[in-house]
Amino acid sequence: MNAIEVNHLRRVYRAQIGVFNRSIKEVVAVDDISFEVKQGELFGLLGPNGAGKTTTVKMLTTLLIPSAGSATVAGVDVVKGANEVRKKIGFIFGGERGLYWRLSGDDNLRYFASLYGVDPSVSKKRIPYLMELVGLKGRGNERVGGYSRGMKQRLHVARTLLHDPDILFLDEPTIGLDPVGAREFRNVILDLQSQKKTILLTTHYMFEADALSDRIAIINKGCVIAMDTPSGLKKHVSDLSVVEVETFGASETALEKLRALPFVDSLSIEDREQKQILLVQTTRGAEAVPDVMTALEGQRVGRVIVREPTLEDAYVRLVGGAA
């Protein structure tokens, strides 16, 4: 039996607009998504903002009713057996929200343990164990309001493990964390993976998905556009190389020239403070560099490197440069 099965899931949001001339506006967040997650697998869900990742997770965690399609978690239908599903899962939505800031870390866990139906004698032992697991040992008596963002995220993990669920949904759990905090958090996820937990992870960070996931589904505009292992996804761009060019205020005309080159498969731009990194995907490898430099003539250019494609490059190609 698969831990999670999703069949043609669809979710439409309806919003009322206008005051006098009222009308209903429909937004399709998830159009048609199907996938399965095996027991003990870490399954990554990747996609740009608004692709439908969080909506999918919310439907699977019983917090939203699907508009169409069906899904089972631990063999139980997420709509008909919502309460059964809730006993078997844990979930985290990224960010600092979802905790009681006026209570201490320990009290937050005691509260949620009670709501998960954990016996007080069990939670008394489990809370210190979990606080240690997530690196918050000795901080349990402090108010959550005084915790750093990373500490709050880690408390979320402890919260979600209180009833020792077999299936975890982690929706962008490292969003907003500093690099050290994010690395520590990934270690916690790896630890959970070693305990054979089934994990559905959504993230924006490609290296994170690459390092952690057994399989990845890339979703865009509410549909799955690719699903494979990280190495399988990279094969989508095995014919490509990436020319990375550091520029300082490259003009739109120069970028248009670059895009127009016949050997440029796609161009994406990463803004890093005052500079931009142009990521040119090309089939010509290092031979493309002179033409790229010609297209950027008159622009302030820094470092130029040619490298092998990563999962991010596969993602960019599949999503069509929308990231």
Partner 1 sequence: MNYSNLFKYWRTVLTVAEMSLRTQFSEGFVIFAIIFQPMIIAILAMFMLKDKGGDYAMFVVVGSGLTGLWSSLLFVSGNSINVERWTGTLESLVGMPTPFEVIVFGKNLANVVQSLLSMVSSYTLAAVLFGYSLTLTQPLLFFITLFISMFAFICFGLTIAPIFIMYRSVQQWENAMEFPVYIICGFLFPIALLPEWTTPISYLLPPYWAATALHGTSTAMMPLNQVLFSWAMMIIFSLVDLVIASQLFKIMLYKARVDATLDVD
Q: DSSP string of 138-179?
A: T-TTSBGGGS-HHHHHHHHHHHHTTT--SEEEEESTTTT--H
Which two structure tokens, joined as six digits, stand for 126? Answer: 């489990």
User: Which residue among 5, 8, 69, 103 contacts partner 1 (CB under 8 A)?
Assistant: 103
H/E element holding 206? helix 206-212
Handedness of CA 190, 135, 177, 220 (dihedral sign): positive
> Cβ 222 to partner 1, closest distance in Å?
15
CB atoms within 10 A of CB 184: 17
Q: What are the C-alpha distances in Å from 169 to residues 45, 73, 199?
A: 11, 11, 6
For position 22 contacting partner 1 by CB under 8 A, the verdict is no
Write down how long the chain is. 323
> Cβ 25 to partner 1, closest distance in Å?
14
User: Which residue among 35, 93, 147, 315 contacts partner 1 (CB under 8 A)?
Assistant: 93
For position 98 contacting partner 1 by CB under 8 A, the verdict is yes
For position 138 contacting partner 1 by CB under 8 A, the verdict is no
For position 101 contacting partner 1 by CB under 8 A, the verdict is yes
For position 18 contacting partner 1 by CB under 8 A, the verdict is no
For position 207 contacting partner 1 by CB under 8 A, the verdict is no
- Footprint on residues 71-90 left by partner 1 (CB under 8 A): 83, 86-87
Which two structure tokens, joined as six digits, stand for 273? Answer: 């403070």
> Cβ 64 to partner 1, closest distance in Å?
6
User: Which residue among 43, 91, 185, 315 contacts partner 1 (CB under 8 A)?
Assistant: 91
User: Which residue among 81, 95, 128, 176 contacts partner 1 (CB under 8 A)?
Assistant: 95
For position 306 contacting partner 1 by CB under 8 A, the verdict is no
User: Which residue among 38, 68, 115, 269 contacts partner 1 (CB under 8 A)?
Assistant: 115
With CA atoms as reference, report the closest residue to 59 among 13, 113, 114, 115.
13
CA 222 to CA 51: how far, in whole Å?
5
**Binding map of partner 1 across residues 52-71, x = CB under 8 A, - = no contact:** ------x--xxxxx------
User: Which residue among 32, 100, 149, 261 contacts partner 1 (CB under 8 A)?
Assistant: 100
272-303 burial by CB neighbour count: b if 16+ within 10 A, else e?
A: eeeebbbbbbbebeeebbebbeebbeebebee
For position 107 contacting partner 1 by CB under 8 A, the verdict is yes
Residues in the interface with partner 1 (CB under 8 A) total 31
For position 112 contacting partner 1 by CB under 8 A, the verdict is yes
User: Which residue among 117, 138, 262, 290 contacts partner 1 (CB under 8 A)?
Assistant: 117
- Footprint on residues 274-303 left by partner 1 (CB under 8 A): none
Amino acid at site 135: G
User: Which residue among 14, 22, 125, 272 contacts partner 1 (CB under 8 A)?
Assistant: 14
| Residue that the structure tokens 């003990």 belong to | 40
CA 310 to CA 153: how far, in whole Å?
28
H/E element holding 183? helix 179-194
> Cβ 276 to partner 1, closest distance in Å?
30
Residues contributing to the site for partner 1 (CB under 8 A): 13-14, 58, 61-65, 83, 86-87, 91, 93, 95, 97-103, 107, 110-112, 114-117, 120, 159
